């Protein structure tokens, strides 16, 4: 019968289509999972600290505005120190250093200087 032949042919296509969709969904989910796992393991301590305590007020724009306060590694460290003090976070020199490095990697790209100065 020609009609039933066409019908089963159509069903075949529909099935293939569904299988492809399922396969695609699974692949995307897998890829998203892998990307997340990777970024979770590569997130530095500086990034974690910054993301937790600092991004609430400013987005990335503040770090490349024209009137920027930060002009080199030293002023970057000074700003991070100032802001963690504003937020009463009591970061150690190492924390300040890690966050300054994170921001430097992300936005500023100054030649990194010495570790945050001990005071």
**Interface with ligand HEC (CB under 6 A):** 50, 53-54, 56-58, 62-63, 68-70, 76, 79-80, 83-84, 87, 89, 99, 103
Residue 11 CB neighbour total at 10 angstroms: 10
7 vs 51 by CB, closer to ligand HEC? 51
Burial class (CB in 10 A: 0-12, 13-18, 19+), 89: middle
Q: CA 74, 97, 65: angle at the middle one, nearest 5? A: 55
Structure tokens at 55: 């991004």
10 vs 76 by CB, closer to ligand HEC? 76
20 vs 60 by CB, closer to ligand HEC? 60
Structure tokens at 39: 């970024």
SS3 call for 69: coil
User: Cβ of residue 101: shortest distance to ligand HEC, in angstroms?
Assistant: 11
Structure tokens at 47: 């990034």
70 vs 116 by CB, closer to ligand HEC? 70
User: Cβ of residue 68: shortest distance to ligand HEC, in angstroms?
Assistant: 3
User: Cβ of residue 67: shortest distance to ligand HEC, in angstroms?
Assistant: 7
């Amino acid at each position: 019968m020609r009609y039933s032949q066409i019908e089963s042919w159509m069903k075949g296509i529909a099935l293939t289509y569904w299988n492809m969709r399922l396969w695609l969904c699974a692949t995307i989910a897998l890829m998203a999972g892998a990307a997340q796992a990777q970024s979770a393991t590569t997130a530095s301590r500086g990034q974690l600290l910054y993301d937790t305590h600092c991004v609430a007020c400013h987005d990335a724009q503040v770090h490349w505005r024209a009137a920027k306060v930060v002009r080199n590694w030293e002023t970057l460290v000074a700003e991070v120190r100032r802001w963690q003090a504003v937020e009463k976070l009591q970061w150690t020199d190492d924390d300040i250093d890690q966050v300054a490095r994170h921001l430097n990697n992300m936005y500023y790209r100054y030649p990194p200087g010495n570790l945050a100065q001990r005071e």
